[in-house]
Amino acid sequence: MERLKIKVAVLFGGKSKEHEISILSGLSIIKNLSPEKYIVYPIFIDKDGKWFYIKSRDIEGDEFLKNKYPLKSILIKEKIFVVEGEEAFGVDVVFPALHGPYGEDGTVQGLLEILGIPYAGCKVLASALAMDKISSKTIFKQNNLPVVPFLGLYYHQWKKERKYITDQVINRIGLPIFVKPSNLGSSIGITKVNEIKKLGDAIETASGYDKRIIIEKGINAREIECSVMGNEDPYASEPGEIVPQREYYDYEAKYNDSRTKLIIPASLTKRQISEVKKLAVAAYLSLNCTGFARVDFLLDKDSNKFYVSEINTIPGFTQYSMFHRLWSLSGISFAEVLDRIINYALEK
C-alpha cells in the first residue's frame, strides 16, 4: 500500500524585522522537504500581516510573489485553508519558519493551538519565554544555569531614574556592556558600550525596537552554538562555533559579512563538548521547549567558563544556517532533520 503523504503548510515572511531572513528559511525548508513524503503548501505572510498561498513549490528568490493568492479564511474544525479564487486545502501540520515577533514569540503558535493544527517547534509558553531575553535569562538563573550578569528595565524607568540605573550598571555589571531590546533577534538594535557616557544613546537605540531593555556584561568570549531536538527526552548535536571578523556578532556579521566563519565542529575538548551538550539540553528543558531549537553560548576565553546566552526556538534554516548543519556531524541530513521535526510536531 502506498504511504499517504503528510500535508505540510510552511509559513514564512511575517511582520517582524527579520522578514527577509524568514523568506530564505522558508524557501530552504520547502526545497528540502521530500516530495515523496510530503505535499507542501507554501504560505507567505507579508510585512502587513496578510497571508497568501503560493501556488508553486518550485520557487526561487522573489519569483513566488508573482504566484500568490490571498488566503480568504481558515475553517477551524476541518483544519482547511480557503484560498480566494482557488480550491481550499487541508493540512496535517504547520511548519512556522517565522523569525522574531509575530511568529517566533508564541503569537502564531497560539493561533495554531486555537485552530487545533499540529505545528513544528515550541509551544506558546516556551516560544514567548525564549523570545524575551529578560524572562529567559531569569529562568536560566533560577535553574542554576550560568548566565552573564545582566539588568532588565523598562524604557520609562530609564527616563525617570537615569542616575540610579547608571550606578547599577557600573556597580553590578561593569563595562563593557551590551544593550539590547529584550524582544528581538538577529542582533537587531544591539549596541556595545565601552564608555558609560554612551549608555543613554544605546538605550535610546534599543527602545526603538522594544520598551523592555536588557543590559548584559560584555565578556571576551567565543560564540558557541548547539542544536537540540526532541520533546520530553531531547538530545543535542555536536557544537559549532561562529567567528565574526567584526567587533562582535552583529546583524552585519550574521548576514552580510562573508568573512564570518562557521567552524563545524567547534574546536573544543571532549569535556567541553560534553558540558555544552548537557547545558544545551538543560536550558531547553528549563523553558519547556519542544520539537527543536538552537541554544547559543558564550565561552569565556579567560576562564573557559560556558554561559548560556539565549535559545532560538525557530533558528535559521538557510543553506548556510548552523542549526541543520550541526546535525550533519552525526550523519543526519537536512531532509532527515525536517522529518524528525515534523514527527515531533505530530507526536506532540
Identify the bridge partners of residue 217 per DSSP, sorted by sequence position.
177
From the list 5, 4, 8, the residue with the least C-alpha distance to 79 is 8
Q: Say if residues 106 and 124 touch (Cβ distance below 8 Å).
A: yes
- Backbone φ and ψ for 253, nearest 5 degrees, come out as -65, -35
From the list 221, 240, 14, 34, the residue with the least C-alpha distance to 111 is 14
Q: Say if residues 11 and 102 touch (Cβ distance below 8 Å).
A: no
What's the pLDDT at 247?
54
Sorted by sequence, the CB contacts under 8 Å of residue 215 that are 6+ apart come out as 150, 151, 152, 153, 169, 173, 177, 178, 179, 180
Q: Say if residues 251 and 311 touch (Cβ distance below 8 Å).
A: no
Rounded CA separation 348/343 (Å): 8
Identify the bridge partners of residue 3 per DSSP, sorted by sequence position.
none
Angle at 191 between CA 189 and CA 194, to 5 degrees: 170
From the list 312, 302, 307, 321, the residue with the least C-alpha distance to 240 is 321
With 0.75 as the threshold, say if the pTM is over it.
Answer: yes
What's the pLDDT at 65?
74
What's the pLDDT at 60?
67
Cell, residue 202: 544605546
Phi-psi region of 251 (alpha: psi -120 to 50; beta: other; left: phi over 0): alpha
| Consecutive H or E run containing 36 | none
Could you read off the pLDDT tens digit of each residue along the chain, which spans 348 residues?
A: 446 899 999 999 999 888 999 999 999 999 999 999 999 999 999 999 999 998 866 666 666 777 788 888 776 666 667 776 667 888 999 999 999 889 999 999 999 999 889 999 999 999 999 999 999 999 999 999 999 999 999 999 999 999 999 999 999 999 999 999 998 655 678 999 999 999 999 999 999 988 999 999 999 999 999 999 999 999 999 999 998 765 554 454 444 445 578 899 999 999 999 999 999 999 999 999 999 999 999 999 999 999 999 999 999 998 889 999 999 999 999 999 999 999 999 998
What's the pLDDT at 257?
43
**How far is CA 296 from each of CA 140, 227, 309, 315, 326, rounded to the nearest angstrom?**
13, 9, 5, 11, 13
Q: What is the DSSP pairing of strand 221-230 with strand 291-300?
A: antiparallel
Strands (E), the chain: 6-13, 38-45, 51-54, 68-75, 80-83, 89-90, 93-96, 150-154, 177-181, 191-193, 212-217, 221-230, 235-236, 240-243, 261-263, 291-300, 306-312
Residue with cell 521535526: 341
Q: Say if residues 311 and 128 touch (Cβ distance below 8 Å).
A: no
Cell, residue 132: 524575551
Cell, residue 265: 565542529
Rounded CA separation 348/121 (Å): 9
**How far is CA 27 from each of CA 49, 122, 181, 269, 307, rounded to the nearest angstrom?**
18, 21, 28, 36, 33
Structural domains of the chain, ranges and CATH numbers in brackets: 6-119 (3.40.50.20), 129-146+220-347 (3.30.470.20), 150-217 (3.30.1490.20)
